[in-house]
Chains A and B, each alone.
Chain A
């Protein structure tokens, strides 16, 4: 876990910066994620909290957006949690790298997965009224993430 943190802080994946929320606690990570180019989240800087359960790596880390974000796969509340794909307990692979988790989360900003959504209405809008979705997502990004 320590070596992964070192690796992540020294050579972070594109658009991602990692530090410990509290130097004495290796289970809580603070991640600054830049909105990917070409997505409505572009230019936004999102604070993402990554916490490792005590059973890590046999249970997946939990990823949540501390910065409000308008996205079909992130709960639209103060928790901002995201739980799908490789982050689900039954799909989690203990051999996954945390870098891969963060890249997966950032990829999701570019390509939401409306069929696996936690926010049904945003997913509907994403599928049926893409421009309206992008408009609101951009607005939220300006308001909360810049």
Chain B
């Protein structure tokens, strides 16, 4: 093994020092289906497979960041601009331009001269102006931002701007961060924050959010994909702000950050019948009990149930006008959140015969909001709800498509026994 001469060893050392693995792909990708992430893990640890599958339903779209060491910084920066664009509020952008200018005082206070930082601040301002113009010109989508972030100079300059702001913020607020650092804060900033292409760690990310993002009023949520217990990725709020406002969502996989888009922010125009998770093939279970007169594949037609009176004569159809407590095909079993267990004993309520039997159910068992799965009793419901969609904590992400909106099982429907009208909130964009 000692065959190499010192010169050769040095040469190899130098090559190795300068080696940079080739990373493929654009700096910031276009929005794409999160299903690709699930596919990546389909053969991996079952925990990861389960979590990524659930993720692709709650967060159907994602944006992949190039893994060049800047991904976390780039994801936050891109998310910041994109959120501003999505809000389409030019006044807010003007406020942000002023705020970014004001933040340069942090840089002054740690001794950076304007000749050093101005090109970085200019880049951020430039893209803020471009965002402003895009809104005014009625740009349809954020492709101008994707382009800007794929320009090497622009992307690097904005990231550097956010890095030096974070570093300055930390130096001016040492007591908030020092306890979490394995070294002195100055050393940390100069080795982990300031150098190009150093990956962001948790302390750095927190400081970036505290120092740079928080002032915008945007929340930042990180969804951790790891092998910890549970069926869904672990969400973590990194901002102290009211999380109901605009939120930048990041997916963290050890060593890498991407951006995620939850169901809420999707354009609802194309009807995606997610909440039924219907399939035309029920033969794998309960075939014998298939009590529908309705052709199962007809049930997959989204608007078929739009008319609440449809199929009222059918054996399974609830008759809300007759009874406020219909024996529901959606009978809930809140404790049972996965459909893997077909045992009727798991259902809290005894199985109900397939018939319009309004009196079988106690009044309290009126259809609650759709937050959980129906039990699979032997003669139970014939609509198979996708268990991942129906996780209780995901109920907020359910898209409201016309059939569900018009169903008495929608809590917002006047015939629902737990009727509660939808309150319009100014920050919500549906």
Contacts and interface: CB of A to CB of B under 8 A. Distances in A.
Interface residues of A, number: 19
B152 A55 contact: yes
B156 interface: yes
Interface string B147-179: 000001100110010011000000000000000
Contacts of A57: 119, 160
B160 to A, nearest CB: 4
Contact of B195 (A7, A55, A91, A97): A91
B419 interface: no
A3 to B, nearest CB: 4
A134 to B, nearest CB: 22
Interface in A111-126: 118, 120-121
Contacts of B201: none
B6 A94 contact: no
B10 A93 contact: no
B113 to A, nearest CB: 8
B6 A120 contact: yes
A88 interface: yes
At the interface, is chain A mostly helix, strand, loop or mixed?
Answer: loop
A114 to B, nearest CB: 14
B160 A90 contact: no
A58 interface: yes
A128 interface: no
Contacts of A27: none
A90 B196 CA distance: 6
Given A55-B152, A118-B14, A120-B10, A90 B197 contact: yes
Contacts of A88: 17
A90 B10 contact: no
Contacts of B191: 91
B190 interface: yes
Contacts of A7: 115
A138 B164 CA distance: 42
Given A120-B6, A120-B10, A121-B6, A92 B116 contact: no
5 contacts: A55-B152, A58-B156, A58-B160, A90-B198, A121-B6
Interface of A: 3-4, 7, 55, 57-59, 88-95, 97, 118, 120-121
Given A7-B115, A89-B18, 5 more contacts: A58-B153, A58-B156, A58-B157, A58-B196, A118-B14
Interface of B: 6, 10, 14, 17-18, 20, 112-113, 115-117, 119-120, 152-153, 156-157, 160, 163-164, 190-191, 194-198
6 A-B pairs closest in CB distance: A93-B194, A58-B156, A3-B115, A94-B160, A91-B195, A95-B164
